[in-house]
Amino acid sequence: MKPKVYVTNHNANYDYSSAEAYGEIIYMTSGYMPAKNYQSILTTFENYAKTATENDYLLLSGANLVCALAMAAWLRHHNNVTLLQHGKGMDDNKNPISVYQQCHVSYS
């Protein structure tokens, strides 16, 4: 089964298409997240984390606190997570392209 890439927060200003190389993209939240909604956002992340597998990725996107809540929910259900961090790189012709860096985090 193809892995999934869980995006913590969809931002219309970013191009996530190069993350498709890692798996099917799933947007967990979208847009601005007011602080009063953080408890419901955590519940949303918990629900996604319950169904995720060890082969799936968590793509960090959005406010730091949103990313932290997603990672906390993930690590509550799994002992490790492979993160994808959005960045910028250059193609062979020195044109800017979206790239993702992997980071594996284990919790014991």
Please answer whether residues 33 and 84 qualify as being in contact, where contact means their C-beta atoms are separated by less than 8 angstroms: no
User: How high is the pLDDT of residue 92?
Assistant: 87
- Which residues pair with residue 5 across a beta bridge? 25, 57
Locate all alpha helices (DSSP H) within the chain, ordered by sequence.
Answer: 38-51, 64-77
What's the predicted TM-score (pTM) here?
0.88
User: Is pLDDT of 98 > 90?
Assistant: no
User: How high is the pLDDT of residue 94?
Assistant: 87
> 55: burial class by Cβ within 10 Å (0-12, 13-18, 19+)?
exposed
**Cα–Cα distance between 78 and 81 in angstroms, integer?**
7
